[in-house]
Amino acid sequence: MKKYEKFNLGNIKLLSGKILKSAQLIYKTYGKLNKDHSNVIILPTFYTGSHIRNEGFIGKNRAINPNKYFIVSINMFGNGLSSSPTKAIKSQSGSKFPTITLWDNIYCQHKLITEKLKIKKIALVTGWSMAGCQSYQWAAQYPNMVKAILPFCASSKTSIHNHVFLEGVKAALTADKKFNKGNYKKQPIEGLKAFGRVYAGWAFSQDFYREKLYKKFGFKNAEDLLKDWANDHAKNWDANNLLSKLKTWQLNDISKGPMYKNNYIKALKSIKAKTILMPCNQDLYFRTEDNKFEKKFISRSSLKPVDSPYGHCAANPGNDKNFEKQLDKNIKELLN
């Protein structure tokens, strides 16, 4: 079985007007297309995710079942697999990598789905966090193609507070002198560690720390968890890749682009897909209030919040069985 597949897009004109040269999407498929091609599920990737991490949402005993559905897991630009600062031609590598929006991501994902995979209808687009943001983008950008979406712990537009939180982790990373405005020879390890430590305070809720739930992950105390987050980011991530996707996240707004020309309400109203919005009430940056606002304008939508001390990380596969159970229930509702 192939590890993954490549889709070469050639030179792509971005929303900014710039050209992403020799663009490439890395994706993996699971299951088989049925005769009428009506069983397609798209799973974009989340912020520090890949198609491999998405496998935590797929299973023969799960709602996203490869025995029933044809699942296309697509790596977002900037994640180190698809076109990224570390995977670009020399003139666009590192700090020279162009700014990418979710509009650009979905424009290219649409090319993969229609031109390469010859798919005309999508049963469901779903995902956690930035992947959920992409599910809204799919439904607004191609409203006649997407039958249902289920964004969980996500939003259709990055709130000002969410933007500010991201500025904080960015500042921690770029303060490392070795970062050198993105023109580093070696990874800015101290900056990456600082990024991870700051992020850990946002990823989980206050309840998580109060109830010392880090012990369930095998950490003696909060400091051990922070060290683990620091080392994980230093070991597994390129600084420019993290910042490229962070910029994409900050620019998240389904009304950007030629269709809606920044008319956010119009963009929300254009979503025809049957929609379940699934926030975690303890999420510190994708807030339930933002989903409540969206629900007013997405005609076929319902709001199904979940309580979890894990906060934003309630959705991380394996963290919260109750969240997983509710997620599968909601997915089944949309697919039936």
| Dist. CA 159–CA 294, nearest whole Å | 12
Average pLDDT, the chain: 98
Among residues 47, 114, 116, the alpha carbon closest in space to that of 75 is found at 47
| Dist. CA 124–CA 190, nearest whole Å | 40
Do both 325 and 210 map to the same domain? no
254: number of Cβ within 10 Å: 27
Do both 184 and 303 map to the same domain? no
Residue position matching structure tokens 């946002």? 202
CATH number at residue 277: 3.40.50.1820
Do both 30 and 91 map to the same domain? yes
**All residues at 6 or more sequence positions from 88 whose CB lies less than 8 Å from its CB, including other chains:** 20, 21, 22, 96, 97
Q: Is 227 exposed, middle or buried (0-12, 13-18, 19+ CB in 10 A)?
A: middle
Q: 200, 225, 246 — which closes off a domain?
A: 246
Do both 265 and 290 map to the same domain? yes
Do both 167 and 138 map to the same domain? no
Q: Which pair of tokens denotes residue 154?
A: 């996500």
Residue position matching structure tokens 């999420």? 283
Do both 171 and 235 map to the same domain? yes
Do both 136 and 194 map to the same domain? no
Q: 246, 273, 298 — which closes off a domain?
A: 246
pLDDT of res. 62: 98
Structurally, the chain folds into a number of domains equal to: 2
Do both 26 and 101 map to the same domain? yes
Do both 331 and 260 map to the same domain? yes
Do both 127 and 14 map to the same domain? yes
This prediction has a pTM of 0.98
195: number of Cβ within 10 Å: 29
Do both 130 and 216 map to the same domain? no
CATH number at residue 216: 1.10.1740
328: number of Cβ within 10 Å: 17
Q: What is the pLDDT of residues 192-205, one digit of tens each?
A: 999 999 999 999 99
Do both 177 and 37 map to the same domain? no
Burial code (b: 16+ CB inside 10 Å, e: under 16) for 94-108 equals bbebbebbbbbbbbb
Q: What is the pLDDT of residues 291-301, one digit of tens each?
A: 999 999 999 99
Q: 188, 219, 246 — which closes off a domain?
A: 246
pLDDT of res. 2: 81
| Low-confidence stretches of the chain (pLDDT beneath 50) | none
Structural domain span for residue 317: 5-158+253-335
